[in-house]
Amino acid sequence: MVDGQSAITSIYATNPLKLLAPVSRGTSVWAYTSSFGGGMVSGDQTALDVRLHPGVRCFLGTQSSTKVYRNPEGRPTGHRVWAGVGADSLLVVAPDPIQAFAGSVWRQRQNFFLAPDANLVVVDWLSSGRQARGERWAFTRFESWNEIHVGTRPWMMDGLVLDPRDGALTEPFRLGRFDCLALVAVVGPRLADGARRWVEEISARPVERGATYLAAGSAREGGAVLRFAGQDGEAVTREIHTGLRFLSSWLDGEPWNRRP
């Protein structure tokens, strides 16, 4: 905090990662990641360290979807996040979905360490690829791991591994008709009521056979974990943005609608 406002006191990036901060001071700071090449190519590795001092509010998003290009050599390509969130702070990590092209390899690991009364929202999601070009779940391998620790205790440890060697991803009992998967984790005393209402609203919906969109939510101590699957990525986008609308007052607006 600087004179009672959230403020970015240090920001630095090197190729291939870019960091843009259109709101560097105010009720909340907003920052967006991007890349010099418009996506991740074979061998690209990016790492992001985020440190929030007590009382700070921060939104971290992306300019657009993260494109992971074809990787015939199978060289490691991925992204790492380490974030420390101080007392009574709020960090919202809400990028656009990852779009893994045919033949790509992706590994992501995100670790969040919260003070006991800190607040966090994490959105981690992906699309099936370039559907307009006939690519659906055609990547070579996809991994995403998320860990959230509150104080000294692990609050969530979640991993997703998708590999066609375990069976075609387009088969009905794998990903089948769905083209978008999403995980949302919400934790913290300032967010618990909003998370609880979102889970209750989802739980009250009927489940239809052959539905084009599925949503599930589980209440956790101090928050909730929610998962979504949709044939249409726009439906998942609407769900996430609507469900997180309660953050607007904390962030002084809806940053995903006002990109740089």
Q: How far is CA 225 from the centre of its chain?
A: 12
pLDDT tens-place values along the chain, 260 residues long: 576 767 778 887 788 888 888 888 888 899 999 887 778 888 899 999 999 999 999 999 998 889 999 988 888 799 999 999 999 999 999 999 999 999 999 999 999 999 999 999 999 999 999 887 888 999 999 999 999 999 999 999 999 999 999 999 999 889 999 999 999 999 999 999 999 999 999 999 988 888 899 999 999 999 999 999 999 899 999 999 999 999 999 998 888 777 66
* Residue 237 amino acid letter: T
- C-alpha span between 27 and 6 (Å, rounded): 6
Helix (H, G, I), strand (E, B) or coil at 8: coil
Residues in Cβ contact with 56 at an 8 Å cutoff, skipping those fewer than 6 apart = 1, 6, 29, 86, 89, 90
Q: Which amino acid is at 144?
A: S
How much is the pLDDT for 1? 58
